[in-house]
Structure formats: C-alpha cells, structure tokens
Amino acid sequence: MPQQVNPRKAPPLLEMTAIVKSFDGQRVLHGVDFDLCEGEVHILAGENGAGKSTLIKILGGIHRPDSGEIRIRGQQMEFRSPREAAGHGVAIIHQELSLVASISVADNVYLGRELSVYGWMRHGAQSAKCTGVLGRLGLQLDPRRMVGSFPISIQQMIEIAKALAHQAHILVMDEPTSALNELEVERLFACIAELKSHGCGIIYITHKLEEVYRIGDRITVLRDGVMVATAAATAMPAGSLIRYMVGRELADHGGKRWRRPSVRGPLLLSLDNVRVNASDRRRRPLVDGVSLNVHGGEIVGLAGLQGSGNSDLLWGLFGAYGRRTTGTISVCGRPYQPASPRKAIRHGIAMVTNDRQRTGLVLNLSVAANTTLAALPQVSPGGWLLAGREMQLAAESTRALDLRAASLRQSVATLSGGNQQKVVLAKWINTRPRVLLLDEPTRGVDIGAKQQIYELMGKWREAGHALILITSEMPELLMMSDCVLVMHRGRPTALFDRGEVTQEGRHGRRLS
C-alpha cells in the first residue's frame, strides 16, 4: 500500500505497526498497520468481528498487543492502562457514553482532574474554563446543569469536550451517530471539522456509507484481522469499499426495491385514532391520533425525527407502555387492546427494539436461551423445560439466519453486534408472529448482516406478514417500505405511497 506520509517530514501523529493480538489462542489481529495524520479523519471500516474494536482497545490501553509498535509523533509508546493512553492524548468516545449523568457538565469535563486548591473545589473557575472548551465545539450551554438533563447528542458533545479538556489530540469515535438524528449528526460533523482545524486526528468507525464519504479523508479496511486496503477516500469508491469489507460482491443494496404484489393481502393491523399517553397524564401524549391500515405482505415505514413518537407508537402497540395506549385497534381481524408485551405476543405481534443490548437480549444467558425466551411455552409443556426440544428450536431459527456462533450454548454477550441482532430476530421468528414491529432492525450491524436482515424482511413480506419499520437511514426506509407514514410531535403529518417518496421530497415536507 502506498504510504501517504513522506518519512522525511515530521512523523505522523500516530503510527501502529504490525499489531498482533490473540485471545485464548485465537488470533484476531494478524499484524495490522495503521497510521493517522494531524487534521485528518481516518475511517476505520470493516464488518463486525473484523478486529476494529480490538485495534482501538489496544490504542486506548485496554488491551496490550502481543507484538507490534505504537508510536505517537515518532515516539514509541507502551500503554499499560487506559489512564496512560489518555495521558498521551488518546481519547476514545465509546458508543456507550461514560459520563456521570447525575453531576454537572463542568464536573464531568474535569472529572479526575478538578480545579481545586488543597481539595477545595474552585467551581467558578472550572465553570468558566469549561465554557471555553465547549465554545471551541460551538456549544453554548450552562456548565452547571446536570448532564442527564441533556439529550444524548449533547452528551456526546460533552464527552468530546471532556477529551479536549484533557488535551487529547487522537480521538476515536466508535459509531458516534448511531443514536443521533439528522440535525444532531450535522452538529457533530461541524464539531469534527472544528477539531480537524485544531490539528486533532480522528479515527472514525461507522457502518454508514454516506458518512464515510461525507467526512472521511482516508479509509482503512480491516477484514478478519488483516488490513486489506488503505487509500484516500476519493480513491476508494463505495463499490470497492464494500468489496474489501465483505470479501465478495453484494447485490446493489441501494437500488433494489420490492415489487408490489398484485393482490393485497388481508388487513392484519388496523389502527384508528390511536393515542399513547405519557406516563404523566398532564403532559402531551407521546402519540396522538394515528390511523393506519397494514395489510399482509406490506411494509409500512414510519419516518420522523427522534421524539416524533414513531418509536412510542410501536412500544404502545406492543403493550410495553401497559394500558396507556387507547384507540380502536384490531389485529388479524380481532379487536386488540394493548396491555402487556405478553398479551401482544399472544396476539401474534413481535417487536424488535432499537437497542438490542438494553432491551433485546439477556446478555448473560446463552444464545439458545435468548432465541427461545419469547417462545418458551412451545418447548416446555406443563412448565417442564425440554432441553432437546429447546436446542432444536434454537438451531432451526438460527440456521435460517446464518448465525455465526461457535456454539448455541455460548453466552450471547460474546457475539458480534450483527450476530446479536440475528439472535433477536431468531427470538421473534420463534413466536411465529403475523405483525412485526421493527425499530431500527439494522442499527449497528455490518453490511453483510444488513443484507441478510433485508432478505429476512423480504421473506416475511412474501409470507404475508404485516411489517412496520422504523429506521434512521433514509435510503433503507425508502428501499424497504411500500408506504411511509411521517410523524411529527406525536401526530401523523403525511402518508406517502411508494413512488411518491424520494429523499428530497421528505425533506421538503418536513420543513413545510
């Protein structure tokens, strides 16, 4: 691979050479080279399990490499702890933020290195300094407010501010946009531009192709622990990037659209004036006045920003909000009043939540136990759990999804994100649902797994199920949906049939 940096010039900000790492005798990194220049956004791409996280954890001092070198500005480093790495200017912004929600912004930003005189806090000086750091990111907020009172997107900025306050110049961002809406993503990108202009180097991990080309200067692709390509972003078009990542050709995932069936299936889900009340009755309902018919073999997309109530509609229908959902609802022709997830499952409804770790999986149970959790009565007649039947059910459902796991008995926590998502889907396959509510079913999974999830949705559609899909990735929504319901502040604002919807059209609608 051509080296970007002339060795006669100043050494690059970060150089990692021939990094090797094994876990339990299994080699996950086979001598990976990686470097980062000042003022550069370097995209680290690769499928789940390619070794990206391991490489980042080595950089962050969480793991130690078996062999290989790390140099920062030409100086050889050996990080024995995350603290040492942080001391040399490495900051990792994890997907799960590491802020203390119950203390103030300033206290978070200076946590561990408070401004104090003999242990006596200098709150005023700290707040002032904090305001300065936030200002560098274009953020104007009260540093004395509690972190937990801000939305996730702002918390992420605070996390970045914390890194800046600690003089970090190597920032690693691991899928920073997975929980952000479009406006917030723009704000983050503006902030990244700001960091670049200050000479920070940024390692950016993402599964979203648009982002790669929006902000990436250079791309490095890992596959199975080997660096397969590194090049300027302009020199690596999307097609070859995917090929490098997956190692094979994929059908053009952007252009494929479902053919509308000639005959409409039966009406499976009908909503009339559905309302989901907030837990506090005096507040505005989360969802108000939604009427919608979903036929068998149809995928309805729900568009809307975070807080528009589209997720709440699914949670409400599934009974996750108890009896706070009102309105006339029928499922498969039978009247249905949401009360609990248990009742919803009995009525043939399944829901894939948007956060598999928090609400989808029981991480310390095995793969098999997770796939059968919602369908346990099937394999436990009279309450007596039949291990053989359970394994059979688990094996059938995971085989259909091409799940890659060494054993069905292993803990589901050990799987990669894409495979964990497949376990969630397998769980709902096993309940034999007719109506599927999918909230971000492809969040945080790699392109190969995404493709398989699309195929599964296609299969469900062909089998005559009714699907409702929420996704923050516009191309995905447009590709998969037969029609799109747009929601804003809990109310439906427009219903588009397919063909009418384009990405630009939706923007125009939202602004009007």
Q: How many residues sit in the footprint of other proteins (CB under 8 A)?
A: 29
Q: Which residues ranging from 108 to 147 are in contact with other proteins (CB under 8 A)?
A: none
The answer to the question of residue 359 lying near other proteins (CB under 8 A) is: yes
Residue 363 or 474 with smaller CB distance to other proteins: 363
Closer of 204 and 318 to other proteins (Cβ): 318
The nearest distance, CB 445 to other proteins, in angstroms, is 18
The stretch near other proteins (CB under 8 A) out of 285-293, 342-350, 468-476, 494-502 is 342-350
Whichever of 86 and 349 has its CB closer to other proteins, that residue is: 349
From candidates 347, 427, 443, 450, binder to other proteins by CB under 8 A = 427
For other proteins, the closer of residues 153 and 353 by Cβ is: 353
CB 263 to other proteins: min, Å:
33
**Residue 196 CB burial class (10 angstroms; 0-12, 13-18, ≥19):** middle
Of 70-78, 226-234, 335-343, 496-504: span binding other proteins (CB under 8 A): 335-343
- When asked if residue 406 is in the footprint of other proteins (CB under 8 A), the reply is no
Assess contact for 297 and 465: CB atoms under 8 A.
Answer: yes
Which of residues 152, 362, 463, 495 is near other proteins by CB under 8 A?
Answer: 362
Ranges of H-type helices in 253-366: 310-317, 341-346
CA atoms of 422 and 104, how far apart (whole Å): 39
* Nearer to other proteins (CB atom), residue 235 or residue 362: 362
Please enumerate in sequence order all residues whose Cβ is within 8 A of that of 255, keeping only pairs 6 or more positions apart, or say none.
none
Torsion of CA 135, 141, 147, 151, to 10 degrees: -100
Binder among 154, 267, 339, 365 for other proteins (CB under 8 A): 365
Nearer to other proteins, 10 or 386 (CB): 386
What residue type is assigned to position 111 of the chain?
Answer: L
Task: Tell which one of 128, 377, 463, 497 touches other proteins (CB under 8 A).
Answer: 377
Tell me the window of 235-243, 281-289, 343-351, 463-471 that interacts with other proteins (CB under 8 A).
343-351
Pick the binder of other proteins from 126, 270, 311, 353 (CB under 8 A). Answer: 353
Residues numbered 49-108 forming contacts with other proteins, rule: CB under 8 A? none
Interaction with other proteins in 431-450: which residues (CB under 8 A)? 431
Of these, 233, 361, 436, 456, which contacts other proteins (CB under 8 A)?
Answer: 361
* Residue closer to other proteins, measured from CB, 370 or 481: 370
Burial 263-290 (b: 16+ CB within 10 A, else e): eebebbbbbeebbbbeeeeeeebbbbeb
Q: Where are the alpha helices (DSSP H) in 257-351?
A: 310-317, 341-346
> Closer to other proteins at the Cβ: 65 or 360?
360
Q: In the window 290-319, what residues touch other proteins (CB under 8 A)?
A: 318
Bridge pairing between strands 435-439 and 349-352: parallel
Q: Say if CB 477 and CB 300 are below 8 A apart.
A: no
The correct pick among 226, 376, 391, 494 for binding other proteins (CB under 8 A) is 376
Give the nearer residue to other proteins in terms of CB position, either 108 or 325.
325
Considering the complex, state which of residue 439 and residue 476 has its C-beta at the smaller distance from other proteins. Answer: 439
360 contributes a contact to other proteins by CB under 8 A: yes
Residue 111 falls in which region: left (phi positive, over 0), alpha (psi -120 to 50) or beta: beta
Among 112, 119, 255, 383, binds other proteins (CB under 8 A): 383
Binding residue (CB under 8 A) for other proteins from 261, 307, 341, 458: 341
Choose the binding region for other proteins from 185-193, 224-232, 370-378, 439-447 (rule: CB under 8 A). 370-378
Q: How far is CA 234 from CA 237, 291, 354, in A?
A: 7, 46, 33
Name which position in 164, 320, 394, 467 contacts other proteins (CB under 8 A): 320
Q: Which two tokens stand for residue 243?
A: 């090929």
Name the CA dihedral angle for 246, 247, 249, 255, rounded to a multiple of 10 degrees: 20
Element (H, E) at 31: strand 26-36
Cβ contacts of 21 within 8 Å, gap of 6 or more: 27, 28, 29, 51, 54, 58, 63, 65, 66
Other CB atoms within 10 Å distance of the CB of residue 3: 10
Task: Please pick, from the candidates 80, 262, 384, 512, the single residue that binds other proteins as defined by CB under 8 A.
Answer: 384
Nearer to other proteins, 33 or 355 (CB): 355
Please give the helix or strand (H or E) that residue 35 lies within, else none: strand 26-36
Q: How far is the CB of 95 from other proteins (least distance, A)?
A: 18
Which of 363, 391, 395, 483 touches other proteins (CB under 8 A)?
A: 363
Angle at 280 between CA 274 and CA 284, to 5 degrees: 50
User: Whole-number minimum distance, CB 302 to other proteins, in Å?
Assistant: 18
Considering only residues 198, 260, 358, 459, which one is a binding residue for other proteins as defined by CB under 8 A? 358
> Does 369 participate in binding other proteins (rule CB under 8 A)?
yes
Q: What is the largest CA-CA distance in the chain?
A: 78
Q: Position of tokens 């006339």?
A: 328
In whole angstroms, give the CA distance from residue 494 to residue 415. 40
Instruction: Decide: 145 and 63 in contact? Cβ < 8 Å.
Output: no
**Of how many residues is the chain composed?**
512
H or E element that contains 242: helix 238-246
Q: Enumerate binding residues for other proteins (CB under 8 A).
A: 318, 320, 340-342, 344-346, 351, 353, 358-365, 369, 373-374, 376-377, 380, 383-385, 427, 431
